A and B are shown apart, each in its own frame.
Chain A
């Protein structure tokens, strides 16, 4: 009886123990499950379901590309973790794009978009890939005309944006509203029911022991939390972690020593689904990512958060187990494109 009490106390104490001077219980508070009630909606309130549905349809519509051969979902494919499985994706004209297609999970909270953060407004961002020569290479004026030729879009845009007294003649279809609709859909891509979230909610058997040890490493010795923090595992900041690459990254937007070769910290939700990794897709697997961090990166960096980490083979396995426990692939209904 006494022994048992002592054991319980001992176990509790070891839960709260520190790894390399880090208070793990305290560090845990720097992660969490995202709360959709805190999404900063552009109008201060959530969009209508009709707008989200319209955005979803547009996201899957190949009319958005010049050759009508790819949609947003070609490169942000729900079956591939809202990415494309390629190091560098392929545009409407069969060309390679310049960077790895990021996943789009939990971007609703993001204060910056793209690997270099050159955009901040998701409504405005949504029409950029359409116009990008290397991506969908489509003129927005032409696209408006193309969509006005589709009865279902005339009706949908009219009923959401149009004057009820006016006819649904397609005049309600504009590039700004197109962006608004797609962004409204993108903000609903919230992943928040992974094994890790169930663990946080108190489910005792949600995480394998390997993943629990991996979490402790993530917070402690490996110090991944220094950058991958918050409910979406990103500090929404830019770091040069020492990926060998000629890409200036953030410095092309705001030149500066710390911005040189720095990229936005990607969120890690569903990360096991979105290989290959990094802005150039140069690291093929999670194992290779963890080994990359263990050796302190491949190129010199002024960022003092990047350093060699002494990880055993077991530690590497445990970190991968934890990263894989962040998976909650959303079931995204594939719309019938008109």
Chain B
């Protein structure tokens, strides 16, 4: 946990839009996490990169809209306790749900008429990601990560896209631990000192990688 890091100092982007009061030493400066995903095939739909040691994010409202059989965004982040608001911005009906035995989440929003909204609290454990879908539009999916970290980058890949860059600004100097998650494999930790590379493999063959650097 970052609480153990004496040099923790951040002018954090506060995703909650609320006020963050942090006991921060004055002298430290901020660093930036930068990185690039590259895939030769089997590009995932989304990817998540964050500093798992931070715990500063507060519950907030997370807005997810759906239209034309797709969610926007397709990867959302909210601290445990956040309220996720699914908004039907289409003229069609939807039936949003999640069913995850491992995370013990089962919710069914029923028929969502055009223009209506339904709310779901982030009740799954910190550090886990829930996949939500629609009962009648099976290709739709949105991943919602329960994270207390304020230092997060979400990446969404378009069909056919092979590479994507991301950056997380204003991270505490001295941070090295970076966690990477994609739907296809479990979250993996990297020590970026200052750089690290993670390969993605399928049936023993590498199909992509992510390179991460922390710049002072």
B139 with A111: CB separation less than 8 A = yes
A21 to nearest B CB, angstroms? 12
Which listed residue, B99, B136, B203, B207, touches A262 by the CB 8 Å rule? B136
B138 contacts partner chain A, Cβ-Cβ < 8 Å: yes
B95 contacts partner chain A, Cβ-Cβ < 8 Å: yes
- Residues of chain A lying within 8 A (CB to CB) of residue B160: 38
| Contact residues of A between 283 and 308, Cβ < 8 Å to B | 302-305
A258-B136 contact in complex given A44-B207, A235-B69, C-beta closer than 8 Å: yes
- Residues of chain B lying within 8 A (CB to CB) of residue A257: 95, 110-111
A302 to B135, alpha carbons, bound, how many Å? 14
CB < 8 Å A-B pair total: 66
- Residues of chain B lying within 8 A (CB to CB) of residue A305: 92
B110 with A237: CB separation less than 8 A = no
B97 with A302: CB separation less than 8 A = no
Which listed residue, B94, B97, B135, B138, touches A120 by the CB 8 Å rule? B138
Interface 1/0 per residue, A3-39 and B, CB below 8 Å = 0000000000000000000000000000000000010
- Residues of chain A lying within 8 A (CB to CB) of residue B42: 43-44
| Contact residues of A between 43 and 88, Cβ < 8 Å to B | 43-45
Interface 1/0 per residue, A220-257 and B, CB below 8 Å = 00000010000000011111000000000010001111
A259-B135 contact in complex given A43-B203, A44-B42, A45-B41, C-beta closer than 8 Å: yes
A112 contacts partner chain B, Cβ-Cβ < 8 Å: yes
Which listed residue, B40, B97, B207, touches A254 by the CB 8 Å rule? B97
| Contact residues of A between 83 and 125, Cβ < 8 Å to B | 111-112, 117, 120
The size bracket of the interface on B is: 20 to 34
- Residues of chain B lying within 8 A (CB to CB) of residue A237: 69, 136-139
| Contact residues of B between 91 and 120, Cβ < 8 Å to A | 92-95, 97, 99, 108, 110-111
- Residues of chain A lying within 8 A (CB to CB) of residue B136: 237-239, 250, 256, 258-259, 262
B97 with A258: CB separation less than 8 A = no
Residue from the set A237, A259, A304 with the largest chain B CB neighbour count within 10 Å: A237
| Contact residues of A between 261 and 318, Cβ < 8 Å to B | 262, 302-305
- Residues of chain A lying within 8 A (CB to CB) of residue B92: 226, 304-305
B41 with A236: CB separation less than 8 A = no
Closest to B207 in A: A44
B64 to nearest A CB, angstroms? 18
A107 to nearest B CB, angstroms? 14
- Residues of chain B lying within 8 A (CB to CB) of residue A255: 108
B135 to nearest A CB, angstroms? 4
- Residues of chain B lying within 8 A (CB to CB) of residue A226: 92
Closest to B94 in A: A258
B18 contacts partner chain A, Cβ-Cβ < 8 Å: no
- Residues of chain A lying within 8 A (CB to CB) of residue B95: 256-259
B159 with A258: CB separation less than 8 A = no
A226 to B207, alpha carbons, bound, how many Å? 37
- Residues of chain B lying within 8 A (CB to CB) of residue A236: 137-139
B139 with A254: CB separation less than 8 A = no
Closest to A120 in B: B138
Which listed residue, A238, A256, A303, touches B97 by the CB 8 Å rule? A256
A111 to B114, alpha carbons, bound, how many Å? 24
- Residues of chain B lying within 8 A (CB to CB) of residue A238: 135-138
Which listed residue, B40, B93, B139, touches A303 by the CB 8 Å rule? B93
- Residues of chain B lying within 8 A (CB to CB) of residue A111: 138-139
The 6 A-B residue pairs with the shortest CB-CB distance in the complex, in nearest-first order: A44-B41, A238-B136, A258-B95, A256-B135, A111-B139, A44-B42
Binding site for B on A (CB under 8 A): 38, 43-45, 111-112, 117, 120, 226, 235-239, 250, 254-259, 262, 302-305
29 interchain pairs, CB-CB under 8 A: A38-B160, A43-B203, A44-B40, A44-B41, A112-B139, A226-B92, A236-B137, A236-B138, A237-B137, A237-B138, A237-B139, A238-B135, A238-B138, A250-B136, A254-B97, A254-B99, A254-B135, A256-B108, A256-B110, A256-B135, A257-B110, A257-B111, A258-B93, A258-B94, A258-B136, A259-B95, A259-B136, A302-B93, A302-B111
